[in-house]
Amino acid sequence: MVPLLSSSSRPAHAEADAECHWAALDMLATLVAVVRSDARLLFVNAALEGVLGHSRQTLRGQSLATFFAEPYTLVQAIHNASTNQFATQRYETQLLRPGADPLPVHVVVAQSENAEQVVIELLQLETQSRHDREDRLVSQSLANKELVRNLAHEIKNPLGGLRGAAQLLEMELDDAALREYTQVIIHEADRLQALVDRLLAPHRSAPELAEVNIHEVCERVRSLVLVEFPLGLKIERDYDISIPEFRGDRERLIQSVLNLVQNAAHALEQRIMAGDAVIRLRTRVLRQITLGKRRYKLALELLVIDNGPGVPAAMQDQVFYPLVTGKAGGTGLGLTLAQSYVQQHQGLIECESVPGRTVFRVLIPLE
């Protein structure tokens, strides 16, 4: 039963009254529709309006079943609910969206207190698994942050002493051949120091916020990478130029996107030699999305897509961990750093990869 939907005893005002009750449904991230027993729409909440791409005024009176891959199943379920054969009924199907891919949903058809009204709740199946993945990424990165910070400090302190002692020792040595050994100590201590500095970089200072245009960020990265890889690599742009500016740290975002695009370019080594390496930078606006358990009206999505061999399957769950690398000279910090910087913008980076198509997806909330 859905108590939100108690009906009015005055038919003339019934719809207006009900509309007020339903307004609360606009706060939900789940997609909700209220229909009559013949499946015609009385109300859709804001989340469902967003997914269907029509306003509730346009949708009112239309049959909800026309938006479903199996319309008859829905009509039957609504009939069953309104004739009291079931209080609730659940099944999985696909929601057909004009101009977009079908959306896999879990449908819950429930009676309301008014026998004439049936409530349909749609849970996005991919969202559920995305939430799980996001939760994992967020908690993983929190654990990373703590571990890395502590470890880096532990290494940093004795490192200074080690280097100083080697320098003192070097001054006492008469034999030049032995100085080679102290030089090794000093050189390696410097290398470790640089590594530790990179590990601590994202936690060192607060982001410097200013208005950022994501396409300026992309263009900057594009030109930097094309200077590094002038031959055999194409970087295509597919921008949605309507994306508004937002407050962010421009330099950190450039660094994040640069790390993603450089990784893609490195993975494309073979194709660059063959001359058919392509990286695509694609931007879009997403509406009504949930990120890190918070709901946002608007977010920006930036995809970095490459046609390289892909992230090895065994590594896919760990690419954002520090020091995880598949490259001979890699430090395995590029993605950790990119993820930290994007999370400082309340955003998230995800990865999906199969041979021939690797997508790193940056999501940043706008409002």
Ligand X SMILES: Nc1ncnc2c1ncn2[C@@H]1O[C@H](COP(=O)(O)OP(=O)(O)OP(=O)(O)O)[C@@H](O)[C@H]1O
Is 263 one of the binding residues for ligand X (CB under 6 A)? yes
| Residues contacting residue 301 through CB under 8 Å, at least 6 positions apart | 283, 284, 285, 286, 361, 362, 363
Can you give 330-356 as a three-state secondary structure string?
CCCCHHHHHHHHHHCCCCEEEEEEECC
340 interacts with, out of ligand X, Mg ion, none, CB within 5 to 8 A per kind: none
- Give the separation between CA 189 and CA 297, rounded to whole angstroms: 49
CB of residue 323 vs ligand X: minimum separation in angstroms?
A: 9
331 interacts with, out of ligand X, Mg ion, none, CB within 5 to 8 A per kind: ligand X
Is 331 one of the binding residues for ligand X (CB under 6 A)? yes
Is 334 one of the binding residues for Mg ion (CB under 5 A)? yes
Nearer to ligand X, 164 or 330 (CB): 330
- Give the separation between CA 91 and CA 297, rounded to whole angstroms: 28
Q: In the set 8, 73, 88, 325, which binds ligand X (CB under 6 A)?
A: 325
- Neighbouring C-beta atoms of residue 140, cutoff 10 Å: 15
- Give the separation between CA 26 and CA 45, rounded to whole angstroms: 5
Q: In the set 259, 307, 343, 344, which binds ligand X (CB under 6 A)?
A: 259
Is 45 one of the binding residues for Mg ion (CB under 5 A)? no
Which among 60-68, 110-118, 231-239, 327-335 is the span making contact with ligand X, rule CB under 6 A?
Answer: 327-335
Nearer to ligand X, 40 or 149 (CB): 149
- Give the separation between CA 61 and CA 84, rounded to whole angstroms: 23
The residue to which tokens 């469902």 are assigned: 48
Nearer to ligand X, 69 or 323 (CB): 323
Comparing CA positions, the residue from 24, 59, 51, 72 lying closest to residue 126 is 51
The number of residues that bind ligand X (CB under 6 A) is 21
Is 327 one of the binding residues for ligand X (CB under 6 A)? yes
Which among 33-41, 141-149, 261-269, 316-324 is the span making contact with Mg ion, rule CB under 5 A?
Answer: 261-269
Angle, helices 176-204/334-343, rounded to nearest 10 degrees: 30
Is 334 one of the binding residues for ligand X (CB under 6 A)? yes
Nearer to ligand X, 292 or 326 (CB): 326
Cβ atoms 364, 347 nearer than 8 A: yes
Query: What residues between 300 and 319 interact with ligand X by CB under 6 A?
Result: 306, 308, 310-311, 319
Comparing CA positions, the residue from 143, 138, 348, 129 lying closest to residue 256 is 348
Is 261 one of the binding residues for ligand X (CB under 6 A)? no
CB of residue 148 vs ligand X: minimum separation in angstroms?
A: 13
Nearer to ligand X, 334 or 347 (CB): 334
Is 323 one of the binding residues for ligand X (CB under 6 A)? no
Which among 2-10, 77-85, 243-251, 327-335 is the span making contact with Mg ion, rule CB under 5 A?
Answer: 327-335
Cβ atoms 346, 294 nearer than 8 A: yes
Is 263 one of the binding residues for Mg ion (CB under 5 A)? yes
CB of residue 310 vs ligand X: minimum separation in angstroms?
A: 6
Cβ atoms 329, 315 nearer than 8 A: no
66 vs 41, 43, 97, 282, CA distance in Å?
11, 15, 10, 32
CB of residue 358 vs ligand X: minimum separation in angstroms?
A: 4
Is 347 one of the binding residues for ligand X (CB under 6 A)? no
264 interacts with, out of Mg ion, ligand X, none, CB within 5 to 8 A per kind: ligand X
Which among 4-12, 200-208, 259-267, 289-297 is the span making contact with ligand X, rule CB under 6 A?
Answer: 259-267
The string over 75-90, giving b where at least 16 C-beta atoms fall within 10 Å of a residue's C-beta and e elsewhere, is bbbbebbbeeeeeebe
Cα angle 218, 201, 265 (rounded to 5 degrees) comes to 35
Report the interface residues with ligand X, using CB under 6 A.
Answer: 259, 263-264, 267, 306, 308, 310-311, 319, 324-327, 330-336, 358
Site residues (CB under 5 A) for Mg ion?
A: 263, 334
